[in-house]
Amino acid sequence: MPGRSRGAHAVLLGLMVAAGCSSPQSATSPSVTFGSAATTPGMPGMSGTQAMPNMPAGTSAATAGPAAPVAGDAISIDNFAFAPATLTVHTGSTVTWTNRDEEPHTVVANDGSFHSPGMDSQATFSYTFAKAGTFDYICSIHPFMHATVVVTQ
């Protein structure tokens, strides 16, 4: 590291100087101390000599939803909103939600009675309401999205 000259370096210059003088990381990197955990959180970065690992190809999983049922009661998810915001159906009805956003959403009942997986764009989720009642639900990824299914006898 440079000595304690008191010249006022601009920060960019300061960083360059620091970079130019940096010695091997083992000598300069401050150590990390964990208060209580026996295992170290995080993961090591790449060591200096390690080769660049190969990137796995095509591992990203697109969750294409099941084919949308043609019949039944439909709720659309569009622009981060459930439409209709309140849907009334009879007992035994199957309600299908379709995500028309580019963002993933979920459908999660506040009382825990139903819970979709993450629904990517155009994916659907269906649930059959066996009992009467009022079911408030949210998107657990964007919980400011909320709506209601009212199930009548």
Binding residues for other proteins (CB under 8 A): 1-2, 4-6, 8-12, 14-22, 25, 28-46, 48, 52-53, 55-56, 59-63, 79-81, 101-104, 106, 115-118, 120-121, 140-144
Task: Specify whether the CB–CB gap between 105 and 126 falls below 8 A.
Answer: no
Smallest distance from other proteins to CB 122, Å = 10
Element (H, E) at 76: strand 73-78
Which is closer to other proteins, CB of 74 or CB of 146? Answer: 146
Smallest distance from other proteins to CB 82, Å = 12
Which is closer to other proteins, CB of 14 or CB of 92? Answer: 14
Distance CA 129, CA 124 (A): 16
Smallest distance from other proteins to CB 105, Å = 9
Residue 126's φ and ψ, nearest 5 degrees, are: -125, 145
Measured in residues, the chain has a length of 153
Looking at the DSSP bridge assignments, the partners of residue 137 are: 109, 147
